[in-house]
Amino acid sequence: MNKTQVANLVDKALEAQKFAYAPYSKFKVGSALLATGGQIFTGANIENSAFGATLCAEKVAVGKAVSEGKRDFSILVVVGDKGQLIMPCGSCRQIINEFSPECLIAISNEKNEIDFRIAKQSLPDAFSLKA
Ligand code: THU
């Protein structure tokens, strides 16, 4: 994973962010998930007037990937609104950890600021059921 590849994923996440449906919070989030094999899955948050039915951008991207047979992820890029660097919420961290605990999480914005975490380190003492 080099800088150009990460920059390309940030661009994809920013593109996806434009499709966010966030009339309630007015906070648009975009994501781009790179699966091993090279396929990229994007996501945007999709809100609902029943607020609890809202989908985070990361959940949308992971859901697209898993429903197309991809479960191994090398990097998840998340871009927050208004220049904010935002980490995935706890529920999204749990979902990422289910499939790829070693996945790199890159948090970025339209100003090209970026920070990195490792999925499993961002969810200490994670819940897990032995399958
Ligand atoms: N949101 C995400 O899409 N990802 C996160 O990790 C945190 C929050 C969305 C949900 C909601 O539509 C808006 O941001 C404000 O919480």
3-122 is classed in which CATH architecture?
Answer: 3-Layer(aba) Sandwich (3.40)
Q: What is the pLDDT of residue 35?
A: 97
Q: What is the pLDDT of residue 130?
A: 80
Query: Among the atoms of ligand 1, which is closest to the Cα of residue 57?
Result: 3
Q: Is the CB of 57 under 6 A from ligand 1?
A: yes
What are the structure tokens assigned to 31, written together?
A: 């994501």
CA distance 60 to 114: 21
Compute the Cα dihedral for 9, 12, 18, 22 and give only its sign: negative
Residues 116, 76 contacting (CB under 8 angstroms): no
How far does the centroid of ligand 1 lie from the alpha carbon of residue 130, in Å? 29
Q: What is the pLDDT of residue 68?
A: 98
Q: What is the pLDDT of residue 113?
A: 96
CA-proximal residue: ligand 1, atom 3 (nearest): 56
CA-proximal residue: ligand 1, atom 7 (nearest): 89
Q: Is the CB of 44 under 6 A from ligand 1?
A: no
Could you list the mean pLDDT of each consecutive 10-residue stretch along the chain, which spans 131 residues? 93 98 98 97 98 98 98 98 96 98 97 96 93 72
- Residue written as tokens 């979902």? 95
Residues 56, 47 contacting (CB under 8 angstroms): no
